Amino acid sequence: MTVNHNKVALITGANSGVGFELTKRMLSEGWEAIALIRSGFPNEEPLILEALKTKQLRIYRADLSDFASLKQTLDQIKKNEEHIEVLFNNAGVSLGEMKYTKQQREMHFEVNTLVPYIIFMELKELLLKGTMKTIVNTSSNSLLFLKKFDSNTLDKPTQFKKIVGPYGASKLALSLWTKEIAPSLLAEGIQIRSVCPGGNKTTMTKNSGMPAYLILIRNLFFSHPSVGASRLYDAAFGDFTQKTGIFLHKGKDTALKFTTQSHNVLHKVNMIYKKEFGAR
């Protein structure tokens, strides 16, 4: 395998599930991969072991829900890396109850909506030094089932429901700010898209964040995580490379709900970033 040293992808959540399968695919195609992860890779994967040895795969560790940890790690990436072609904001959480971060915001919003924005903003200069300048945000089809959405309560929801509560709202918010920011980023040469990887047999889809009925049908109807990885890959390199700001579901450009709140969501994440993270 020939490693193309000009092609570098950063993948969050690269060590498990869809992110792991995506990382293996990128490495097998000769890409260098930067893994932004909290825990380690499986020890028995030859491709990973060889890539670590040759530094084709480089690991940076952080707790994405802890701004101090995230800031320190992103500073290391900016210091050590020269450029990024594609940023895959793939890491996320799905919990069975309401939890809050050290910054006192609801965990789903913090990790699924806000942190992808922070990572993009902090690594924007590395993206601008690449040639592809592409961001792919991992969203969810759960956003299609939301019956109400209030951008003002994203960080402190008033009630909790699995999938269509804070989780679904956080993924819709992610896709909404993706849509809202796309025109201004395009003026700088950066393309951004969000994509649903579909139902995959991952740790996330068998934990307490999943409703019981979905856990029961998971093994019958959910796919191997390589299918989800292919959807992320196609969002970066497939048929939609001439479109930006879109949400992809089952390979199609899919309309979002509550787009009148897109501006509010982008304003919210940007203000938090500027006040609490950018000033650090």
Q: What is the DSSP string of 198-245?
A: -SB-SSGGGSTTS-HHHHHHHHHHPBPHHHHHHHHHHHHHSTTTT--S
> pLDDT-based confidence at 205, cuts 50/70/90?
low
Residue 254 backbone class (left: φ over 0; alpha: ψ -120 to 50; beta: rest): beta
1 in any annotated domain: no
Report whether pLDDT(70) > 70. Answer: yes
> Domain for residue 3, yes or no?
no
pLDDT at residue 216 greater than cutoff 70: no
Q: How high is the pLDDT of residue 210?
A: 61
* AA identity, residue 30: G
247: nearest Cα among 146, 172, 190: 172
pLDDT of residue 172: 98
pLDDT, mean of residues 182-206: 86
Q: Which residue has the tokens 């890959």?
A: 233
Residues 214 and 216: their CA atoms lie apart, in Å, by: 5
Q: Is 133 left (phi over 0), alpha (psi -120 to 50) or beta?
A: left
Tell me the CB-side half-sphere exposure of residue 30, using CA atoms within 13 A.
7
Give the mean pLDDT of 173-200: 95
Residue 46 located in a structural domain = yes
Instruction: Please provide the DSSP assignment of 242-255 as one string.
Output: T--S-EEETTEE-P
Q: Which residue has the tokens 């959480």?
A: 93
Among 150, 210, 209, 205, which Cα is nearest to 176's? 150
Could you list the residue range(s) of the whole structural domain that residue 186 is in? 8-277
Does residue 2 lie within any of the structural domains? no
Poorest-pLDDT segment among 55-64, 69-78, 103-112, 203-212: 203-212
pLDDT exceeds cutoff 80 at 3: no
Kindly report the average pLDDT of the chain as a whole number.
92
Average of per-residue pLDDT across 200-205: 62
Instruction: List the alpha helices (DSSP H) in 114-156.
Output: 115-128
Does the pLDDT of residue 66 top 80, yes or no?
yes
| pLDDT for residue 201 | 64
How many domains does the structure of the chain reveal? Answer: 1
* pLDDT, average across residues 118-143: 97
173 contacts 275 by C-beta, under 8 angstroms: no
Q: What value does the mean pLDDT take over residues 226-233?
A: 94
Q: What is the pLDDT of residue 6?
A: 80
Residue 182 pLDDT? 98
Q: What is the CATH number of the domain that holds 114?
A: 3.40.50.720
Calculate the CA 157 to chain-centre distance.
21
At 42 the pLDDT is 85
Given a cut of 80, whether residue 213 has pLDDT beyond it is no
| Residue corresponding to tokens 């450009």 | 253
- Give the confidence band of 105 by pLDDT, cuts at 50, 70, 90: very high
Q: pLDDT for 262-278, tens place per residue?
A: 999 999 999 999 998 76
User: Do the Cβ atoms of 109 and 155 come closer than 8 Å?
Assistant: yes
Closest to 229 (Cα-Cα) out of 48, 56, 65, 13:
13
Q: What is the mean pLDDT of residues 184-199?
A: 95
Q: Is the pLDDT of residue 157 over 60?
A: yes
